[in-house]
Structure 1
Amino acid sequence: MISFEQALMAVRQRATPQPDVMLAADAALGHVLAEDLIATDSLPGFDNAAMDGFALSAAHLALPLGAPIALHGVQAAGDARLTLGAAACRIMTGAMVPDGTATVVPVEEATVHIAADGTQTFVLNTPANAGMHIRRAGEDVCAGSCIFSAGTRLLPQHRMLLAALGITQVNVRASVAVAVLCTGSELVEAGAPLVDGFIRNSNGPYLCAALSMMGAAIALYRSVPDSAKAYVDAVREAERAGSRIILSTGAVSMGVHDFVPEALRALGAEVVFHKLQMRPGKPTLFAVLPSGALLFGLPGNPMSCAVGARFFVQAVLRQMQGLPPELPLRAVLQAPVRKKPGWTLIQKAALAVSDDAQLQLRVLVGQESFRIQPFALANAWAVLPESDTTLEAGRVLDCYPLQPAQSEWPCAPASA
């Protein structure tokens, strides 16, 4: 058996970056930029008014407070640029400021007078200063500047900036195609009747949901009966579907029907590791197929499956998408925990922020690997180090969000 840390290193070493693809901006959400993205235009593209009001020249500002100022013309958003003369002009929010504009005075800071012949003047209610209420060209983004660095995962807020700058295509890492194979003749899929001795498949739906949040595209989803041949056939189908990562659940321990190691030998796979000094998830297997596809044999117990996906599959996906290794959060343990030495324990936990803004961690009851309800109530994984036996309250521990942070792992693009 190898350690949790050695297993993480092993999977990262065998992950190769995805190729670059040019995608339309709408299709690129959830993808990771393959190169720095440079603005070709400035934003705003021209000086414009930040308020509805009046565009004044420097000569107008030199007049004493209360002096009438002639008012003529309107500069609205989308209009060709005017030039100020002796008169000021009305201006609307977002409109180009006329040539000769020194400041924009909000409409509520002036009083307009209309003469009998229709001519208009206004007076300032308060003194005005130069340069007020004008958005300068390039004040938000300067042409030629880097707006997003390589390695940025594109989110909806990024889409707004791309649209404002007129960027319609971006160079990103291709989505990683993943297959999910759930072994077990006892598994029943959603909607099918449940009879004695059968269980509903919970690992498959969980993995599909988690992988989508990790930026992967599900290329194949299959239930596989307890047969080495059926498993080999399913793996080959996954490879034909273009899967770069194949996840299977179950059949990796020491039982009569734990046929995955045998099937992988028949496929000519290199088994990198099988069994870890980690709980839950001791029987986890990782192999490289002759095609180069990476295969994770995850245990069938739900929490063992969830831990394998969260830490090892996620580590590979980050590497393939050009992202750095995930850094843990650091939180203070609220109550003492006892454990056996020689094992890294990945525990369901509750992470909270104290009144003094300190992250606090509470290990939940119900850590058995078959128990799903505590998992649904958790929001973090606590990592209890291999060498420790007693962890006292106040100990600072590594922990991770239950799922990779939504801000970093948005929903994946639609599957191919």
Structure 2
Amino acid sequence: MIAFEDALEHVLVACTPLPAERVTLAEALGRVTAAEIRSPVDLPAFDNSAMDGFALCTQGRRIDAGREFDVHGEQAAGDGLQRAAGEGAWSIMTGARLPDGLDAIIPVEQVEVLDRADDGRVTRMRLAAAVEPGQHRRRAGEDVACGALALPAGHWIGANEVMLLAGLGLAQVDVARRPRAALLSTGRELVDDPAVPLQPGQIRNSSSPFLATRIPAAGGEIVLRETVPDEPAQFSAALERAIDAGAELVLSTGAVSMGRFDFIPDVLRERGGEIVFHKVAMRPGKPLLFARLPSGALCFGLPGNPVSTAVGLRLFVEPAMRVMLGLPREQAWRIPLAHDVGKKAGFRLHQKARLKLDARAALSVELLAGQESFRTRPLVESTVWAALPAEVDALRAGDPVDVFPLAHEAGVMLGAQSK
């Protein structure tokens, strides 16, 4: 057995960043920037009004309430360049370009209309409040200046980033290529088709749909997905198909423990694979295997129980994908326990857990009932994984522990973007 920290280090040093590729902005969601992106334009592109109202020229001085002005023009959103003349005002709409010569806006609610034209347009008004120079004026480049850093390299692109890049007029983005993954489920007891009735001894394959959902969400691409019986020759053939499909990550489930049908280590050796480690001092997921194949692909032999699969994916496969995508290594959150807990020393425990806020808004982590590796229902109530260190046999309420969100990209979006 190998310690969790040593096992993870072996995985991370085996990974290298993938090359960049150019995608359209519509394809960029959930991708990682391969290089920094600098703005090609000012955003906003021009000075504009922050609200509906009237634009004035203050000449750098406060205009007191009570002043009256003729309204010489009207500027709506989408209108082009206009030049104001004299000391009058212009009616202006939110987002409309500020006419040259004017520098401040008073909201429509803070004026008294004195006269209107036959078509309803305001022609004269009185200030009901003072106007300060530059008020309610959005300046060109105030959000992002031309040439300024918009996104750094190694940055996860979410919906907010798509909004920013669209505003900058970027139609294409250079991103890290997605890691290519193959999913191989093993077990003659597994049934993939939910329409097929179960025979005695059979179970639904829940790990494969889970992995097929998580891998793309975590930044990867699935190139092969198969379920094979407990036959070494069939698994070896499926492994060959995975390599032919270009898989850089091969994730298998089952057949890595100590039973007569746990054949994966032998098949990997027969195919020239190097087993880096097999068995980690953790629960669930102790039988986890990590190997390098002659093709360069990394093979993760995940235990068959669904929660063991989830732990192996979250704490080993997803960190590997982060390196391949050019993201920084993940840092655990340190959060105090909500209650006392006992455990057996010698194993690092990864526990289904959820975050709690007390009446004073203090954050803590609560371990859930049903920690066995076959119990999937508690995962629905979980928001995080809590890691209890291997060397201790008891922890007290208030003791800090390592905590990881259920998905690595959730941690990215919550503030661990760039370090």
When residues 68 and 377 of structure 1 are mapped into structure 2, their CA distance, relative to the original with a 3 A threshold, is closer
- Provide, for residues 137-182 of structure 1, a one-character-per-residue CA deviation record: whole Å limited to 9, x for no partner: 1111111110111111001111111111111111110111111110
Shift of 1:59: 7.3
State the alpha-carbon separation in 1 of the partners of residues 117 and 12 from structure 2.
81
Report the Cα distance in structure 1 between the residues aligned to 2:338 and 2:302, rounded to whole angstroms: 31
1:5-46 Cα offsets, whole Å, 9 max, x none, are: 110000001011111111111111111111111001011111
Q: Which residue of 2 aligns with 1:143?
A: 146
Are the equivalent residues in 2 in contact too, given 1:78–1:95 (CA < 8 A)? yes
Residue 246 of structure 1 deviates from its aligned partner by 0.7
2:156 equivalent in structure 1? 153
Is the counterpart of residue 98 in structure 1 residue 102 in structure 2? no
- 1:294-346: per-residue Cα shift (whole Å, max 9, x none)? 11011111222111111000110111111112111222223332222221122
Distance in 1 of aligned mates of 2:411 and 2:365: 21
2:308 pairs with one of 304, 309, 313? 304
Q: How far apart, CA to CA, are the structure 1 residues paired with 2:292 and 2:66?
A: 82
CA distance in 1, matches of 2:94, 2:117: 29
* Residue equivalent to 2:417: none
2:171 corresponding residue in structure 1:
168
Secondary structure of the residue that 1:208 maps to in structure 2?
helix
For residues 397 and 33 of structure 1, what CA distance do their matches in structure 2 show? 31
Give the match for residue 204 of structure 1. 208
Q: Extract unaligned runs of 5+ from structure 1.
A: 411-416
Q: Would you say the 8 A contact 2:280–2:287 is kept in 1?
A: yes
- Counterpart-to-counterpart distance in 2, 1:219 and 1:177: 6
Does residue 230 of structure 1 match 2:231? no
Instruction: Say how many residue pairs are matched.
Output: 410
Residue range with higher mean Cα deviation, 141-150 or 125-134:
125-134
Percent identical among aligned pairs is 45
Q: Is the 8 A contact 1:252 1:261 kept in 2?
A: yes
- Counterpart residue number, 2:190: 187
Give 2:91's aligned amino acid: R
* TM-score normalised by the chain length of structure 1: 0.93
1:6-405 mapped onto 2 (5 Å cutoff): 6-58=6-58, 66-86=66-86, 87-114=88-115, 120-189=123-192, 190-405=194-409
Q: Secondary structure at the match of 1:408?
A: helix
1:332–1:397 Cα contact (<8 Å) kept: yes
Paired with 2:393 and 2:316, the residues of 1 have a C-alpha distance of: 25
129 and 380 in structure 1: CA distance in 2 versus 1, 3 angstrom threshold: closer
Contact 1:213 1:406 in 2 (8 A): no
CA shift for structure 1 position 291: 0.6
Query: Contact 1:215/1:409 (CA < 8 Å) preserved in 2?
Result: no
Provide the secondary structure at the position in 1 that maps to 2:410: coil
Please give the root-mean-square deviation of Cα atoms over the aligned residues, in Å: 2.2
Amino acid at match of 1:325: R
Unmatched segments (≥5 aa) in structure 2: 415-419
Q: Aligned in 2, Cα 1:123/1:271: closer, same or farther, shift over 3 Å?
A: same
1:57 maps to amino acid:
C
